[in-house]
Amino acid sequence: MNALTGRAVGFIGLGLMGQGMTRNLLRAGARLLVNDLDPATVDALVAEGAIGRETPAAIAGESGTVILMVTDTRAAESVLLGQGGVLEGLRPDALVIDMGTTAATATRRFAERVRAAGGDYVDAPVSGGMVGARDGTLSIMAGGAEAALDRARPVLDVLGSRLTHVGPVGAGQVAKAANQIIVGLTIGAVAEGLTLARRAGVDPARVREAVMGGFADSRVLELHGKRMIENDFEPGAHCTVQQKDLSQALELARELDQELPATRLCLELYDRLIAEGHGKLDHAALIKVLDKG
C-alpha cells in the first residue's frame, strides 16, 4: 500500500503551486482531501473531484499521506502544530510531506513532533514554478529517512520529473535555500549584464544570443533573460516569494555564522524593488532596480 493507491492523500495549501499539483494528483487517480484558508479555492477543487475538509486536523484524520504546500515557515507551523492543525488529527503511521519552502531548523523540529506522534516526515521542496506544478515536471529536493522517502515516491513521481534524495530531514530545505540563492543571484547577474549592453547601445537580445552556449549559459539566461528583454514580468514566481526565500536562506546562514555577501545584496535589491511596488511581478523584474528611468 503506497501513498497514492492506499489511504487518501490530504493536501493543505491551494495557492498557485498547490492548484496545479492537486490537479495532477486527481488525474493520477488519488482520493484527494483538500484544505485551504480560502474556501473558494477549496470549492474549485471539489468541483473537479476533490473532497473538502474544514481543518488540517480533519484532513489528517482521514489521510495516509498529508502534503503541505503553504506560504512560509509560520504558516507551516500553524497548519502542523496550531489549533485544528495536522498533529491534532494525525493517524499513527501517517506520512507528512512538506513541499513548501520552510526553514531547515524549523523543519527538523516539525519532523520530531510528527515522529513523536508515530508518523514519518519528508521535506520535499520544489523548483520549477507554476509551469512545473501544472505539468508535473517539478524538480524535487528531498530530505528524510530512506524508508520514509520510499513511501513518498509514488506521490512525488506524479508531481515532479526529477527527485533527488539530498540527505536526512532538513537536507531538502537546505538544498532549496541553495537553489534560491543560485536562482536569485543568477537573475541579478543576467540583469546587470543585459543592462550594461542596453546602456552601451547594443541590442540585449543579440548579446543574450552571443553569450548563450558559452560559460554564461544558464536556465536563467534562457528564461528570465528572455523575460527581461521582452519586458514581460507576468509571474512565474513573484518577487515577494524570492524575497522571502532569500531572507530565510540568510537566516540559516546567520544561525551558522556564515557571511553570504552577494545574497545579502541581492535581498536588498529585491527589498528596493518591492518597496517601489513591484512585488507581484515575476522575479526576473529585478532588472528594474538598475533602471535610472
Residues annotated as catalytic (active site), given as ranges: 176
Site string for a second copy, 155-174 (x = CB under 8 A): -------x-xxxx--xxx-x
Kindly tell me which of 234 and 257 has the beta carbon lying closer to a second copy: 257
Contact 111, 134 (CB under 8 A): no
Please list every residue from 258 through 287 that binds a second copy, using CB under 8 A. Answer: 258-263, 265-266, 269
In whole angstroms, give the CA distance from residue 95 to residue 169.
13
Interface residue with a second copy among 74, 219, 232, 276 (CB under 8 A) is: 219
Determine, following the binding rule CB under 8 A, whether residue 148 of this chain makes contact with a second copy.
no
Give the shortest CB-250-to-a second copy separation in angstroms: 9
Interface residue with a second copy among 5, 210, 230, 276 (CB under 8 A) is: 210
Determine, following the binding rule CB under 8 A, whether residue 185 of this chain makes contact with a second copy.
yes
Q: Is 28 exposed, middle or buried (0-12, 13-18, 19+ CB in 10 A)?
A: middle
For 64, 109, 162, 192, 221, the CA distances from 144, given in Å and listed in that order, are 17, 13, 17, 38, 33
Kindly tell me which of 28 and 189 has the beta carbon lying closer to a second copy: 189
Kindly state the number of chain residues that form the binding site for a second copy, as judged by CB under 8 A. Answer: 69
Q: Render the burial of 149-185: b for 16+ CB within 10 Å, e for the rest.
A: bebbbbbbebbbeebebbeebbbbbbbbbebbbebbb
CA-CA-CA-CA torsion sign (262, 72, 130, 150): positive
Phi, psi of 84 (to 5 degrees): 70, 15
User: For residue 66, what are the β-bridge partners?
Assistant: 10, 96
Determine, following the binding rule CB under 8 A, whether residue 141 of this chain makes contact with a second copy.
yes
Determine, following the binding rule CB under 8 A, whether residue 127 of this chain makes contact with a second copy.
yes
Determine, following the binding rule CB under 8 A, whether residue 4 of this chain makes contact with a second copy.
no
Cell of 283: 522575479
Interface positions with a second copy (CB under 8 A): 104, 127-129, 139, 141, 162, 164-167, 170-172, 174-175, 177-179, 181-186, 188-190, 192-197, 199-200, 202-203, 206-207, 209-211, 213-221, 223, 249, 252-253, 256-263, 265-266, 269, 290, 292
